[in-house]
Amino acid sequence: MALSINGHGYENAAELLNFGAFIAFMGVNLSTFWQFGVKRAAGRQINLLGDVLLPLFGFGFCGWIWLNLNSVAKIAGGVWFVIGIIYLGFKTHWFREKPVRIDFTEP
């Protein structure tokens, strides 16, 4: 599938980039909600606005934008995502092993 369908190559490429970006933003918001709204550290009080409402709103807002991307971006991004999951499965012997961690510390 070419990104230049209907002569909108740059638009489709930008929306394909946004496909991945908004999935990442949704992940950040969901993990913030989970870490601070659900799995709080012992003795830490919940901040309803910052720990629950704003991350859930951010997740929903990013999800709404993601759902409204054009179909070319959704199809190409979805195919790329599935290829990535299959590759991860292959590298981890179909999820029986943990993925290799990258160590960024200098020797």
Express each pLDDT in 82-106 by its tens digit. 999 999 999 999 999 998 888 888 7
Query: What does the DSSP assignment read for the chain?
Result: --TTGGG-HHHHHHHHHHHHHHHHHHHHHHHHIIIIIISPPTTPPP-IIIIIIHHHHHHHHHHHHHHTS-HHHHHHHHHHHHHHHHHHHHHTTTTTSPPPPP--S--
Task: Calculate mean pLDDT across residues 52-70.
Answer: 95
Q: Are 64 and 25 in contact (CB under 8 A)?
A: no
* pLDDT recorded at residue 61: 97
Give the per-residue pLDDT at 2: 57
Mean pLDDT over 5-33 rounds to: 87
Rounded to an integer, the average pLDDT of 70-86 is: 92
Highest-confidence range of 4-8, 62-66, 100-104, by mean pLDDT?
Answer: 62-66
Across all residues in the chain, what is the average pLDDT? Answer: 89
Mean per-residue pLDDT, 2-27: 82
Q: Can you give the length of the chain in residues? A: 107
More confident residue, 8 or 96: 96
